[in-house]
Amino acid sequence: MPGQLKSTTGAKARKISNKKFGIVVAEWNEEITEALYQGAWNALIEMGASKRNISRVNVPGSFELPLGAQRLAEQKKVDAVICLGCVIQGDTPHFDYICQATSYGIMKVGLKTGKPVVFGVLTTLNTQQALDRAGGKLGNKGEEAAVTAVAML
């Protein structure tokens, strides 16, 4: 059910109060990515993260998420990184290139740094699908990304 955290609540949550989270947000499709950010931020707070331990970095689009994530993950003060973006399919193969490069880049940053670097990027066929996954009828994938980051810690 949307709005309810699936796991990492209760006693586990208190263990993340000293953990530091970086959230990288793509500015492209801002209506969607802002909703994803709010979902992630709210979930982290609900699970016990301290507001002062959550930092945000904006990047122009989803293609730039891996570099933003790398810059955060390389900081000793960051324990986990959440990448939030939205790529909506158009009429050209651009969608495929951006999605593949973004997912590969995000994975590579996690493997390189040994820190959780979570893929919270919507890859949808249309705007309505994105809205449905950014706080709409299908929940908020930003929230799910935050839960994943905590689980990986």
Instruction: State the pLDDT confidence band at 9, using cuts at 50, 70 and 90.
Output: very low
User: Which residues have C-beta within 8 Å of that of residue 60, sequence separation ≥ 6?
Assistant: 26, 27, 28
Structure tokens at 124: 């949808």
CATH number for 73:
3.40.50.960
Domain count, the chain: 1
Catalytic pick from 6, 14, 15, 94? 94
Domain assignment present for 51: yes
| Residue 80 and residue 118 in contact, taking contact as beta carbons nearer than 8 Å | yes
Structure tokens at 17: 């109060």
Domain assignment present for 88: yes
Structure tokens at 50: 């301290």
Predicted confidence (pLDDT) at residue 3 exceeds the cutoff of 90: no
Could you give the CA distance from residue 55 to residue 51 in angstroms, rounded to a whole number? 9
Q: Tell me if residue 18 is catalytic.
A: no
Predicted confidence (pLDDT) at residue 5 exceeds the cutoff of 70: no
> Averaged over 102-129, what is the pLDDT?
98
How confident is the model at residue 69, as a pLDDT?
98
Predicted confidence (pLDDT) at residue 40 exceeds the cutoff of 50: yes
pTM for this model (two decimals) = 0.91
Domain assignment present for 19: no
Domain assignment present for 135: yes
Domain assignment present for 141: yes
Q: Which domain holds residue 129?
A: 26-152
